[in-house]
Amino acid sequence: MKITEKAPTPLVDFLARAGFGGKREATRLIAAGRVKVNGQVETNAQRRVLPADDHVRVDQKLIKEIWPPTYILMNKPPRTISTTYDPQDRKTVYALLGKYGKVVQSVGRLDYETEGVLLFTNDGTLAHALTSPTSKVQKVYRVKVKGQVNAAELQRLRDGVDIGGFRTAPAQVHVLSRGKANTWLRIKLTEGKYRQVKRMTKAVGHPVIRLVREKFGPLEAGLLKAGQWRHLHNSEVRQLRSIAGL
C-alpha cells in the first residue's frame, strides 16, 4: 500500500512495517548507518518520522510502501526456533508465515521444543507494551514434568522459587493428571523471564518433558493445528491494547 499515514512513527517500526525483517533487523540497519531520513544518515532507532511526509531510504533506495499494522496468532510447533536466522539451520517460525515472515516479529519467544500460542506483529508500540517488565499479561502453560510433584513442591511453585538470582512472583499452579513417572501441571504466570517455566519446575526437582503455552492474554490456539496461523480479529487487537494500557 502507498504511504498515506500522518501519525509519527519510530523509525525502527517504520522500517519493520516496510518489510525489513522485523525490529531487530531494522535496528541493525539503522546502527550500521544504512538508513537516511530526508537525506541525512539517522542512527537513532526511535527517531520519529512522518510516514507520508519524510523520505526514508535504505541503501539509497526510497521506501514508497509500508505494510498496515498486522497481527498474527500461531500455534507454534515443537522443534522450531523463534528467530529469523539460526546458525544450525533449524526451521524458524518465520518460514511458516509466508510473505508475512519478513514483516512481523514475535512478541517474546518460545524455546525450540516449546509449543503453543505465539503472537506476531509489526506494531512496535503494542509489542513493547506487552513485553515490558511492568506488563501483567497472563500466560498459561500446560507442562509435563518428570516425577511425582508433591504438595510441598506445588506450594513452592505457587509461592515463588529462586531460579538463579531471581525469585519468581507467586503463580497459579494446579495438577492436571499424574502418571507413574510424570505429572501434568497447569501454570499461570504474569512474568516472562527467560525459560521461566522450565527453570521453576527444575528448581523443585522436576525437569520439563513437554511444554505447551495455552494462552497469551486472551489469545488461545483454538482450532489451529501445530504450525497453522491466522490474523487476529479486530476485537482481539482491542483486547490486547486494553491489557497493554494503550
> Which grid coordinates belong to 30?
539503522
Give the per-residue SS3 of 154-203: HHHHHHCCECCCCECCCCEEEEEEECCCEEEEEEEECCCCCCHHHHHHHH
One domain for residues 15 and 27: yes
**Domain-located, residue 223:** yes
We report the CATH number of the domain holding residue 104 as 3.30.70.580
For the chain, which ranges sit under pLDDT 50? none
Q: Are residues 165 and 208 in the same domain?
A: yes
Please report the pLDDT score of residue 210 as a whole number.
Answer: 97
CATH code where residue 37 lies: 3.10.290.10
Q: Which of 13, 59, 89, 111 is catalytic?
A: 111
3-state secondary structure of 15: helix
128, 225: one domain: yes
**Dmax over Cα atoms in the chain, in whole Å?**
68
The model's pTM:
0.82
Asked about 54 being catalytic, the answer comes back as: no
Which pLDDT score, from 0 to 100, does residue 176 have? 97
Note the pLDDT of residue 188.
97
Same domain? For 167 and 199 the reply is yes
Residue 200 lies in a domain: yes
